[in-house]
Structure 1
Amino acid sequence: MYNLILNENMKIYRRPRTWVMFGSIVSLVLIMSFILKLYGTEPITGWKAADSLFSLTQLAIIFCIVIAGDTVTSEFSSGTIKMLLTQSQTRGRVLFSKYISSIIFTLFMLVTCLVVSVLVNGVLYGFGGMNTPSPHGGVFHVLMMKYVTVLISAVMYVTVAFLISSLSRSNVLSTLLSILFFMLGPSLTATLKGFEWSKYILFANTDLMQYIVGKPMFQGMTLGLSITVLIVYFIGMNVLTWSVFSKRDVTA
Structure 2
Amino acid sequence: MFNLIKNEWIKIFSRPGTYVMIGLLVVLVIGVGSVMKFTENPDTSNVSEGDWKQQTQMQIESDKQYLSENPGGMNEQYIEQQIAINEYRLENDIKPESGQSTWSFVNFNANFVEFVGLFTIIIAAGIVASEFTWGTIKLLLIRPISRTKILLSKYITVLLFGISLLLILFALSSLVGAVLFGAGDGQPRLVYIDGAVEEQNMVLYQIKTYLLKSILITMMATMAFMISAVFRNSSLAIGISLFLLFMGGTATQFISMKYDWAKYSLFANTDLTMYTGELQPLVEGMTLGFSITVLIIYFVIFHLLAFIVFKKRDVAA
Normalised by the length of structure 2, the TM-score is: 0.76
Residue equivalent to 1:80: 136
Residue equivalent to 2:75: none
**5+ residue gaps, structure 2:** 45-98, 193-199
Displacement after TM superposition at 1:132 (Å): 4.1
The 1-side partners of 2:112 and 2:40 are apart by 18
The 1-side partners of 2:161 and 2:120 are apart by 7
Against the structure 1 CA distance between its residues 51 and 72, is the aligned structure 2 distance closer, same or farther, given a 3 Å change threshold? same
Residue equivalent to 1:139: 202
The 2-side partners of 1:184 and 1:222 are apart by 23
Residue equivalent to 1:96: 152
Could you tell me whether the CA contact under 8 Å between 2:100 and 2:184 is conserved in 1? no
Q: Give matches, 1:70-219, under 5 Å.
A: 70-127=126-183, 129-135=185-191, 137-193=200-256, 194-212=258-276, 213-219=278-284
Displacement after TM superposition at 1:125 (Å): 2.2
Could you tell me whether the CA contact under 8 Å between 1:61 and 1:106 is conserved in 2? yes
Against the structure 1 CA distance between its residues 130 and 23, is the aligned structure 2 distance closer, same or farther, given a 3 Å change threshold? farther
Against the structure 1 CA distance between its residues 183 and 119, is the aligned structure 2 distance closer, same or farther, given a 3 Å change threshold? same
Residue equivalent to 2:118: 62
The 2-side partners of 1:209 and 1:98 are apart by 29
The 2-side partners of 1:135 and 1:148 are apart by 17
The 1-side partners of 2:208 and 2:155 are apart by 25
Displacement after TM superposition at 1:160 (Å): 0.6
Which deviates the most, 223-232 or 168-177? 168-177
Code of the aligned partner of 1:243: I
The 2-side partners of 1:53 and 1:203 are apart by 21
- Percent identity of equivalent pairs: 37
The 2-side partners of 1:160 and 1:190 are apart by 20
Could you tell me whether the CA contact under 8 Å between 2:103 and 2:203 is conserved in 1? yes
Deviation string, structure 1 residues 24-72 (Cα, Å, up to 9, x no partner): 0011111111111111123222121222222111111100111101111
Which deviates the most, 137-146 or 164-173? 137-146
Could you tell me whether the CA contact under 8 Å between 1:46 and 1:129 is conserved in 2? no
Against the structure 1 CA distance between its residues 167 and 111, is the aligned structure 2 distance closer, same or farther, given a 3 Å change threshold? same
Could you tell me whether the CA contact under 8 Å between 2:230 and 2:305 is conserved in 1? no
Q: What secondary structure is seen at the aligned counterpart in 2 of 1:54? A: helix
Code of the aligned partner of 1:96: L
Displacement after TM superposition at 1:79 (Å): 0.6
The 2-side partners of 1:26 and 1:83 are apart by 36
Displacement after TM superposition at 1:139 (Å): 3.1
The 2-side partners of 1:50 and 1:234 are apart by 29
Pair 1:242-2:307 in alignment: yes
Against the structure 1 CA distance between its residues 116 and 130, is the aligned structure 2 distance closer, same or farther, given a 3 Å change threshold? farther
Pair 1:51-2:107 in alignment: yes
The 1-side partners of 2:311 and 2:108 are apart by 44
The 2-side partners of 1:199 and 1:144 are apart by 26
The 1-side partners of 2:186 and 2:34 are apart by 20
The 1-side partners of 2:145 and 2:212 are apart by 35
Could you tell me whether the CA contact under 8 Å between 1:157 and 1:182 is conserved in 2? yes
Residue equivalent to 1:226: 291
Aligned length: 252
Against the structure 1 CA distance between its residues 209 and 133, is the aligned structure 2 distance closer, same or farther, given a 3 Å change threshold? closer
Normalised by the length of structure 1, the TM-score is: 0.94
The 2-side partners of 1:133 and 1:227 are apart by 25
Code of the aligned partner of 1:146: T
Deviation string, structure 1 residues 161-218 (Cα, Å, up to 9, x no partner): 1111112232212211111121121122223222232211111111101111251011
The 1-side partners of 2:310 and 2:280 are apart by 39
Residue equivalent to 1:39: 39
The 2-side partners of 1:198 and 1:120 are apart by 39
